[in-house]
Structure 1
Amino acid sequence: MSRRDARASPASSGPGQPLTAVVLEGFASRLAFGLLSFSLPLYAYALGLPIAQIGLMLATNVFIAALLKPVAGVLIDRIGVRTAYVMAVLLRTLVLVALIFAFAPAHLFAVRVLHGVAIALRDPASSTVLAALGGKNAVAQRFAWYQTVKSVAGSAGQFSAGVLLSVLLDDYAMVFTVAAVLSGIPLIVILWGLRGPLVQQLRVPRQQRPPRAPRSLRAALIPYAGLGAMMTGTAYLMANLLPVLAVEYMGLAPAAAGTLYLVKSVVSLTGPAWGWVADRVSLRLVLGVRAFGNAVSSLLWLLFPGYAGLLAGKIADDVGKAAFAPAWGAVMAQVSAIDPSRRTQSLAWMSTAEDAGEMAGPVVAGVIWSLFGLPALLIVRTFLAVITEVYAWFLSRRPGLSR
Structure 2
Amino acid sequence: MQNAQGTTGSPSLWTKEFVLLSVANLFLFFSFQMLIPTLPVYVTQMGGDELAVGLVISVFTVSALLVRPVAGLLLDRVGRRQVLLFGAVVFLACVAGYYFAAAVAVLLFLRFVHGIGWGALTTAYSTVVADIIPAHRRGEGMGYFGLSSTLGMMLAPLIGLYLVDAYGFGVMFATATVLAALSLVLAQAVRIPAGTPAPAGAETSVWANLFEKKALFPALLAGLLSVTYGGIVSFITLYGAQQGIANVGWFFLGNAGTMLVTRPLSGKLFDKKGHVWVLLPGAFAVIAGLWVISVATNEWTLLVASVLFGLGMGSVQPSLLAWTINRVAPHRRGAANGTIFSAFDGGIAVGAMLLGAVAKVTGYAVMYRWSALFMVAFLAIYLYYVWSGKESKAT
TM-score relative to the length of structure 1: 0.80
The 1:286–1:53 alpha-carbon spacing in structure 2 relative to 1, beyond 3 Å, is farther
Give, in angstroms, the shift of residue 270 of structure 1. Answer: 2.2
Code of the residue aligned with 2:215 in structure 1: it is L
Give percent identity, aligned residues only. 18
Map 1:1-400 → 2, pairs under 5 A: 16-41=15-40, 49-50=49-50, 57-102=56-101, 106-164=105-163, 167=166, 171-172=168-169, 174-195=171-192, 199=193, 201-202=194-195, 204=197, 210-211=202-203, 220-243=214-237, 245-246=239-240, 250=244, 252=246, 256-267=247-258, 268-337=260-329, 340-370=330-360, 372-397=362-387, 398-400=389-391
Quote how far apart the aligned CAs of 1:97 are.
Answer: 2.4
Q: Tell me, what secondary structure is at the counterpart of 2:136?
A: coil
Maintained 8 Å contact 1:225/1:350: yes
Q: Aligned partners of 1:209, 1:17: CA distance in 2, in Å?
A: 36
CA deviations 1:253-307 (Å, max 9, x no partner) are xxx5545433345311221110011110231121234433432232222212332
Answer with 53-62 or 86-95: which moved more: 53-62
Deviation at 1:53, TM superposition (A): 7.1
Question: Which blocks of at least 5 consecutive residues in structure 1 are unaligned?
Answer: 1-5, 8-12
The answer on whether the counterparts of 1:278 and 1:286 sit within 8 Å (CA) in structure 2 is: yes
Structure 1 counterpart SS, 2:144: helix
My pick for the range that moved more, 134-143 or 259-268, is 259-268
Larger relative contact order (C-alpha < 8 A, sep ≥ 6)?
Answer: 1
Which whole-Å CA distance do the structure 2 matches of 1:369 and 1:99 have between them? 33
Counterpart-to-counterpart distance in 1, 2:238 and 2:95? 21
Q: 1:383 to 1:162 in 2, by over 3 A?
A: farther
Residues 1:118 and 1:396: Cα distance change in structure 2 (over 3 Å): farther
Residue of structure 1 in register with 2:9 after alignment: none
Partner of 1:10: none
1:379 CA displacement: 2.8
Structure 2 letter corresponding to 1:220: K
TM-score, normalised with respect to structure 2 = 0.82
Amino acid paired to 1:284: V
Q: Which amino acid aligns with 1:176?
A: F
Contact 2:263 2:318 in 1 (8 A): yes
Aligned 8 A contact 2:248 2:302 in 1: no
Tell me the alpha carbon deviations over residues 166-223 of structure 1, each in whole angstroms, 9 at most, x when there is no partner.
556xx4554333222222211110121234xxx2x2163x7856235999x9663332
CA contact (8 A) 1:64 1:117 kept: yes
CA distance in 2, matches of 1:396, 1:326: 19
CA-CA distance at 1:96 after TM superposition? 2.2
Give the letter for the 1:178 counterpart.
Answer: T
Q: Matched residues in 2 for 1:307 and 1:123: separation?
A: 33
Contact 1:278-1:326 within 8 A present in 2 as well:
no
Contact 2:214 2:328 in 1 (8 A): no
